[in-house]
Amino acid sequence: MPKNWKTKLIHSDAHAPEGFRSLSTPVYRGSTVLFPKATAVQDTWDQYEVGYTYGLYGTPTTLELAARICELENGFRTFITPGGQGAIALINLAFLKAGDHVLVPESIYTPNRKFAVDVLRRFAVEVTFYPPTTGAGIESLFRKNTRLVWCESPGSITMEVQDVPAIADAAHRIGSLVVLDNTWSAGIFFDAFAHGVDVTMQALTKYVGGHSDLLLGSITVRDEAAYKRLGSTHQLVGCAASPDDCSLALRGMKTLAVRLKALEETALGLARWLAQRPEIELVLHPALPSCPGHEFWKRDFTGSSGLFSIVFQQQFTKPQVLAFVDALDLFEIGYSWAGVTSLAVAYDFHSTPGRPNYGHRIVRLNIGLEDVDDLQADLAHALVSMK
């Protein structure tokens, strides 16, 4: 049948040559997925079971990223979400219901804490915050209705490394699931499923993306039951990730090993140097004995990444600590981390219950890919100029 040019815009007979082979995964964008015939139409989220049905459940780009994260984490399946915080919210929505009880470490990433306080409690989920260093002692906080135990190891900003296997052992005895925010280890340095975790999440925004230009999250599950539970909630919450961002994350993965190696070396060098400085009371780097839970890092981790905190000596005032951050030249000031640029952010835990009382004296450093000597000189200059 001859076609009008307007129809040709939609149904073209033109073809580009075939046989292009590239090293990068194509970006498949798409909401509508075509079915071969009317009887084949279905709206099932599990694309592994039925093939592709709708872009919301993943395109080949999204699902390739998911499969690759799953492969690295040794899980059963992975879901990709539009951000790390989206992954946190989805896990809570999938596994909790009114009347359940969830345990959350005091050291958790602040928006994760806020979700528990502002959303879960509103939906009649009981929330208890626990000291991150409690280990097997978590047992004393269990209730008949405890369904989920969150872990984040090391914890955000205060960096406590948790005894995850002890927590998982205790949680499994009462039939509770254990969820871990495994972002700091990039899903590489801590083998979560081998240490008893049931569900992991990562902000792929950080090390996997690696260049501060995308927001993505992942959720990886140990077994099919958790996969089914998460999949149906993922469908109904409708949180599809952008295939363009997924393609950037796939590109980021290719350099993850060399980036992590460089970041680990530079961060360790600077952490050890800072520990000798008279201005610094404490370096909260999991690979240093001064970090709470260092013994668990030594026992359970195979490496360290580029994020750690420093605590200034008692005599330093808040304006002085802020002056230190402002005096840095190569370290920029900004949220998020794990990109190629070094960052510094000062925190104030005076009014945060459950956190060690470092007050205004704590600064978190994200180490980037700059030269280590230049970064050290920048820190030295800022330490001198804060006094």
Contacts of 184 (CB under 8 A, 6+ apart): 153, 154, 305, 307
Alpha carbon separation from 23 to 111, 240, 374 (Å, rounded): 37, 25, 35
User: Smallest gap, in angstroms, from Cβ of residue 307 to ligand PLP?
Assistant: 8
Scored b (16 or more CB within 10 A) or e, 6-22 reads eeeeeeeeeeeeeeeee
Please give the full DSSP string across 172-213, using - where no structure is assigned.
HHTT-EEEEE-TTTTTTSS-TGGGT-SEEEEETTTTTT-SS-
User: Smallest gap, in angstroms, from Cβ of residue 155 to ligand PLP?
Assistant: 8
Q: Which stretch binds ligand PLP (CB under 6 A): 78-86, 185-193, 234-242, 375-383?
A: 78-86
- Give φ, ψ of 197 to 5 degrees: -75, 145
Indicate which single residue of 320, 336, 341, 352 sits in contact with ligand PLP (rule: CB under 6 A): 336
User: Smallest gap, in angstroms, from Cβ of residue 31 to ligand PLP?
Assistant: 23
For residues 201 and 182, the answer to whether their CB atoms sit within 8 Å is yes
Q: Are strands 146-152 and 177-181 parallel, antiparallel or unpaired?
A: parallel
Query: Using CB under 6 A as the criterion, what x/- string covers residues 128-167 for binding ligand PLP?
Result: ----------------------------x-----------
**For ligand PLP, which is the closer residue by CB, 156 or 342?**
156
Q: Which stretch binds ligand PLP (CB under 6 A): 9-17, 82-90, 248-256, 257-265?
A: 82-90
User: Smallest gap, in angstroms, from Cβ of residue 186 to ligand PLP?
Assistant: 11
Which residue in 248, 220, 240, 245 sits closest to 54, CA to CA? 240
**For ligand PLP, which is the closer residue by CB, 64 or 181?**
181
> Could you check whether the bond before residue 154 is cis, i.e. omega within 30 degrees of 0?
yes
Q: How far apart are CA 105 and CA 101, in angstroms?
A: 14
Locate 279 and state its tokens.
Answer: 């201005």
Sheet architecture: strand order including 307-312 = 280-284, 307-312, 362-366, 343-347
**For ligand PLP, which is the closer residue by CB, 134 or 205?**
205
Residue 376, interface with ligand PLP (CB under 6 A)? Answer: no
User: Smallest gap, in angstroms, from Cβ of residue 88 to ligand PLP?
Assistant: 6
**For ligand PLP, which is the closer residue by CB, 84 or 135?**
84
Indicate which single residue of 146, 183, 242, 305 sits in contact with ligand PLP (rule: CB under 6 A): 183
Residue 109, interface with ligand PLP (CB under 6 A)? Answer: yes
Indicate which single residue of 73, 126, 181, 198 sits in contact with ligand PLP (rule: CB under 6 A): 181
Which residue bears the tokens 């960052």? 343
Query: In this chain, which residue has its C-beta nearest to ligand PLP?
Result: 84
**For ligand PLP, which is the closer residue by CB, 170 or 197?**
197
Residue 205, interface with ligand PLP (CB under 6 A)? Answer: yes
Q: What is the DSSP letter of 110?
A: H
| # residues contacting ligand PLP (CB under 6 A) | 12
Indicate which single residue of 84, 105, 131, 292 sits in contact with ligand PLP (rule: CB under 6 A): 84
Q: Could you list the residues that contact ligand PLP (CB under 6 A)?
A: 83-85, 109, 156, 181, 183, 203, 205, 215, 217, 336
